[in-house]
Amino acid sequence: MTIKIAVIGFGNIAKAIITPLLVKKLINPEDIYCLVNSKESLENIKKNFKYDVNIFQANSKEANLIWSCQVKLLSVKPQQLKEINELDIDNHKRNDNLLVSILAGVSLDKLIQRFPNHRCVRVVTNIPITVGKGLTGIAWGEDISEDHKQFTKKLFKNSSKIYEFTEDYLDTFLALTSSGPAIIALIIEALSDGGLSGGLQKTLSEELVMEMILGTISLIKQNNLTTADLRNMVTSPGGTTISALRVLEKKNLRSALIESIVSASNRSKEFR
């Protein structure tokens, strides 16, 4: 990568996308132009970010330099989108500009209207990207070239697995992968509280739950099992597991989890 990349909003997710590119020397720090909203953010990044990237506060004169970059990674909060100056955008030819948005719930139509001189890509990614274990869904806007597609994938492939969708599926992808970690965290907390009720220390109980989940996933993947296969492996007649599953079925846990994903997906659609 030899072109300049503007990063509009340099939070944890943006850092997780850019840092592997810098670590692997796929791009030079001087080719990264970051824009942040506050002086505190600017000073914090200058002090703590390992690489000497270009970074500017949004209301500074230098901020306009980001529009000279061919690629923009848009990672502000959705409600901050209206603060971006359209006059700067209109000064550049559409064919020379690629905008990659990771804004939750902001549709391609809105992006294209807001950035008429850019070819737009909508991306949904999740918080495990910050440890290199992300899941990233991509929906392509109008007239996206193969070069633009390959470049966009390069941005994310070092920190996540990539899936390509039509935009209609991004809301469900977001519900499963972006809201999902919070649901899993709640499940871990609830199961560990069960261990706490049985007399285990909280920290030990949480450790056991997390190791159990990791081991279960490894068992399923390495042996190419279905979830039903695994459930049958550990559920014996009249045993402890069927007793636990009976309680969960009575409490409609399965239905609650399904509806949580449907609700998150529907909420995402409301933001379009």
Q: Is the dihedral of CA 209, 212, 218, 223 positive or negative?
A: negative
Confidence of residue 23 (pLDDT cuts 50, 70, 90): very high
Number of other CB atoms surrounding residue 242 within 10 Å = 13
pLDDT digits (tens, 9 = 90+) for 29-64: 999 999 998 889 899 999 999 999 999 998 888 888
3.65.10.10, 2.60.120.10, 3.40.720.10, 3.40.50.720: CATH of 5-165:
3.40.50.720
Domain ranges of the chain: 5-165, 173-270
Supply the DSSP string of 146-196, one letter for each residue: HHHHHHHHHHHTTTEEEEE--GGGHHHHHIIIIIHHHHHHHHHHHHHHHHH
pLDDT value of position 68: 85
**Predicted TM-score of the model (pTM):** 0.89
CB neighbour list of residue 191: distance below 8 Å, 6 or more residues apart: 205, 209
The maximal CA–CA distance of the chain, rounded, in angstroms, is 72
pLDDT digits (tens, 9 = 90+) for 74-120: 999 888 887 775 444 445 455 568 999 999 889 999 999 888 889 99
Compute the distance between CA of residue 263 and CA of residue 238 in angstroms, rounded to an integer.
35
The topology (CATH level 3) of 173-270 is ProC C-terminal domain-like fold (1.10.3730)
User: Is the separation of the CB atoms in 106 and 81 below 8 Å?
Assistant: yes
Whether 3 has a pLDDT exceeding 50, the answer reads yes
pLDDT value of position 241: 97
Compute the distance between CA of residue 189 and CA of residue 205 in angstroms, rounded to an integer.
9
